[in-house]
Structure 1
Amino acid sequence: MSITADNLVWKIGKRTVLDGVSLQAEPGRMLGLLGPNGSGKTSLLRLLAGLKTPSAGRITLDGRDIGTVGRRSLARRVAFVEQHATTNANLRVIDVVKLGRFPHRSMFSGWSAADDTAVEEALARAGMVEKRHDLWQSLSGGEKQRIHIARALAQSPQELILDEPTNHLDVQHQIGLLRLVASLPVTSVIALHDLNHAAMFCDHLIVLDHGRVAAAGTPEAVLTEELLRDVFHVSARVERSTHHGRPHIHYLA
């Protein structure tokens, strides 16, 4: 497995945010993380990215404990796109993407042909080559999210972790962004708010409820009418989409 979490516990003071969470992210696949607000999704992602240390439990990358991996080595392998990522408004797009090469450069190394190649490939994958010289503040919300992903891809990661990257985007840009992530040759772990988007694009789902795993499996196995009622507290009908064959949720008034 690419990323494995075993019985994770995360506490803030006396409050338990995550309690006994286990998961496996398969290489080259998209793992979707779902749950109501406050269920622990962002905390779990930050643990998986190595930004926080679990109170108990273990996270491994290909069997190696993430705690034994150096910060720079980890940054070369795992890229994290935060929900509210910010960037200096005075930078050009290409300069923002170049920031992703920082983990690969030492204090004494100059900019290399390999760095140029990584940046160009990242811009191309994100579909933002034509915006390379635009100023950051001139971009739309969807374009900014694509550039954040391009910066993450410039790290040349094997794992990409994203915290609700479609928030505050219109539907067109949400779908476009998820298509982009699904097409990438990396293992991705992504927290999503829209359950139908998760059903469309994710290979496997984990549902959190009050810091515990409420369900795990394929979208077909996880997204049931019972789970929607018990975890998300909504009445809905779940049918198989005639377009993509995945579950489609129809919310009831």
Structure 2
Amino acid sequence: MSIKADNLVWKIGTKRVIDGVSFEAEPGKLLGLLGPNGSGKTSLLRLLAGLKRPHAGRVMLDGQDISSFRRRAIAQRVAFIEQHATTNANLKVIDVVKLGRFPHRTMLSGWTREDDRAVNEALERTGMSGKRDDAWQSLSGGEKQRTHVARALAQSPSELILDEPTNHLDVQHQISLLRLISSLPITSIIALHDLNHAAMYCDRLIVMQAGWIVASGTPQDVLTQRLLREVFSVDAHIETSPHHARPHIHFQR
């Protein structure tokens, strides 16, 4: 078991933004979260990361209610990359990534070999080692996102949660970032807009609408013509190659 949502409810006033959501993320796999704007994706991710408290239901980490964890303990195992993550423009890449070690350190502890190892491995895995001394403001959009991922990996998380990390990136950097995330040996939950990218890189999908889960399963089971029409209001032809089980969506004009 890794991370589990148990009948989650979260409201703004009397409106239920998340309404009875339950699922369990498969350990070590990439779970994609889909849905139109306003479906509750970001709110759900923030509940899973422990940044919001549900009005009802529970988020479980290895069978234990996340509300029983201290904030520091959550940050030691759950890394969250926001949709519009910001960073001090005066920092270097290495300084940004080092921030990921903050949950594992105390006010009096010095920098350790373990901290160095975690930072260097994060830079290496994200392909940012050669940029470690570059200024933040000199980076491209794709490089900034990779640095945010490196900072998250430096936390040594068991779970990685990402809210539409490919927004505002060109196609090359979108694909590069998704390849990286899908290759990570940790449990990852990612909100995406691009349905074909979700089909290509995610092991399983959840589709939300108006705060509910309306479909869940493998990409080939979830992404049907009927669902695309009813949830996303688009007509499409879905193609599956006999040599490649993942579906590809062709949108109709």
TM range, smaller chain = over 0.9
CA distance in 2, matches of 1:58, 1:134: 42
Q: Deviations over 1:105-143 (max 9, x none)?
A: 011101111101100000001110000000000000000
CA distance in 1, matches of 2:31, 2:224: 18
In structure 1, the residue corresponding to 2:172 is in which secondary structure? Answer: helix
Unaligned runs of 5+ in 1: none
Matches within 5 A, 1:105-124: 105-124=105-124
Q: 1:93 aligns to what?
A: 93
Which contiguous aligned blocks of 4+ residues in structure 1 show a shift greater than 6 angstroms?
Answer: none
Matches within 5 A, 1:147-158: 147-158=147-158
Q: CA RMSD in A?
A: 0.8
In the superposition, relative to structure 1, how do residues 223 and 12 fare at CA in structure 2: closer, same or farther (>3 Å)? same
The alpha carbon displacement at 1:242 in A equals: 6.1
1:143 aligns with 2:143: yes
Q: 1:131 aligns to what?
A: 131
In structure 1, the residue corresponding to 2:20 is in which secondary structure? Answer: strand
The alpha carbon displacement at 1:164 in A equals: 0.3
Tell me the amino acid that sits aligned with residue 122 of structure 2: A
CA distance in 1, matches of 2:167, 2:244: 23
The alpha carbon displacement at 1:243 in A equals: 6.7
Q: Is the 8 A contact 2:220 2:245 kept in 1?
A: no
CA distance in 2, matches of 1:27, 1:132: 31
1:65 aligns with 2:65: yes
Q: Deviations over 1:175-233 (max 9, x none)?
A: 00000001111100000000000000111100000110110111011000000000000
Relative to the length of structure 2, the TM-score reads: 0.99
Tell me the amino acid that sits aligned with residue 22 of structure 2: S
CA distance in 2, matches of 1:176, 1:244: 20
In structure 1, the residue corresponding to 2:10 is in which secondary structure? Answer: strand
Q: Deviations over 1:71-110 (max 9, x none)?
A: 1111000000000000000100000000000000011101
CA distance in 2, matches of 1:241, 1:16: 40
Q: 1:161 aligns to what?
A: 161
Tell me the amino acid that sits aligned with residue 200 of structure 2: M
Tell me the amino acid that sits aligned with residue 215 of structure 1: A
In structure 2, the residue corresponding to 1:96 is in which secondary structure? Answer: helix
Q: 2:246 aligns to what?
A: 246
Q: 1:231 aligns to what?
A: 231
Q: Is the 8 A contact 1:200 1:244 kept in 2?
A: no
CA distance in 1, matches of 2:94, 2:241: 39
Q: Deviations over 1:122-167 (max 9, x none)?
A: 0001110000000000000000000000000000000000000000
Tell me the number of residue pairs that the alignment of Structure 1 and Structure 2 aligns: 253
Q: 1:20 aligns to what?
A: 20
Q: Is the 8 A contact 2:80 2:161 kept in 1?
A: yes
Tell me the amino acid that sits aligned with residue 39 of structure 2: S
Unaligned runs of 5+ in 2: none
In structure 2, the residue corresponding to 1:246 is in which secondary structure? Answer: strand
CA distance in 2, matches of 1:46, 1:241: 36
CA distance in 2, matches of 1:244, 1:102: 42
CA distance in 1, matches of 2:242, 2:43: 36
In structure 2, the residue corresponding to 1:59 is in which secondary structure? Answer: strand
